[in-house]
């Protein structure tokens, strides 16, 4: 669930074939808007942090999510309460938040059994408030196709050779050991953004 939000952006960096998609490039502009709002002391809340309303199923394949939902439905009230107590947050009846943790268990069991399962590659859009994403998309869409292509190539060039696997594991280990996952998400996104900008400065 929340972990997938970090691993999906980093996944493209673990090899030499990172591809800067339109979705990714919009996120570059969205990061700039986020930075501006932080500088202006404006509060920003990731949709993933809105646990009462966010649909956490987006990170998983339909089959895996169905299996997790079936397991969650089959739990006793006591088992469900134990899981809720374990993860502390109370999402006001949004069961998908808790089912996502069950889905993590299902994935782990499949991996242990030698069955390959992957997270769904979700849109970066889920990491930003809707108004920020809309503004960033509008900025990207305004660029002529040749400029879009040039900026994509610049991003891809800047990412070549980066040891993102080590970066990702270090960020996750440090952040989750000191913060809860909801707070840690934005720290990791901010760290990834700073790293990305450092690797290839975006010139607007």
Taking the model in full, what pTM does it have?
0.64
- Range in 17-31, 149-163, 181-195 the model is least confident about: 181-195
Greatest extent of the chain over all pairs of C-alpha atoms, in Å: 58
CA pair distance 199, 204, nearest whole angstrom? 15
Which of 144, 139, 168 has the alpha carbon at shortest distance from 9?
A: 168
Residue 125 · residue 135 · CB < 8 Å: no
CA pair distance 95, 102, nearest whole angstrom? 11
Residue 28 · residue 196 · CB < 8 Å: yes
The runs of H, that is alpha helices, within 92-163 are 95-112, 130-142, 145-159
Assign 21 to helix, strand or coil: coil
Residue 7 · residue 119 · CB < 8 Å: yes
User: What's the pLDDT score for residue 57?
Assistant: 93
Token pair recorded at residue 113? 């059994």
Structure confidence by residue, pLDDT tens digits, 12-63: 444 457 889 999 999 999 999 999 999 999 988 888 888 888 999 999 999 9
């Amino acid at each position: 669930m929340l972990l997938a939000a970090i691993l999906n952006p980093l996944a493209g960096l673990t090899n030499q074939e990172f591809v800067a998609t339109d979705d990714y490039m919009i996120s570059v502009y969205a990061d700039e808007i986020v930075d501006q709002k932080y500088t202006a002391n404006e509060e920003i809340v990731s949709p993933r942090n809105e646990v009462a309303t966010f649909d956490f199923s987006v990170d998983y394949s339909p089959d895996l999510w169905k299996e997790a939902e079936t397991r969650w439905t089959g739990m006793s009230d006591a088992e469900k309460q134990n899981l809720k107590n374990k993860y502390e947050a109370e999402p006001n009846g949004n069961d998908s938040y808790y089912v996502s943790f069950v889905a993590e268990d299902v994935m782990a069991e499949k991996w242990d059994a030698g069955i390959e399962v992957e997270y769904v590659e979700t849109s970066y859009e889920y990491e930003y408030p809707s108004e920020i994403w809309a503004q960033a998309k509008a900025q990207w869409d305004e660029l002529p196709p040749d400029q879009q292509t040039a900026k994509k190539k610049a991003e891809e060039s800047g990412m070549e050779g980066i040891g993102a696997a080590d970066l990702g594991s270090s960020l996750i280990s440090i952040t989750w050991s000191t913060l809860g996952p909801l707070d840690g998400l934005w720290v990791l996104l901010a760290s990834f953004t700073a790293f990305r900008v450092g690797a290839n400065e975006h010139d607007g």
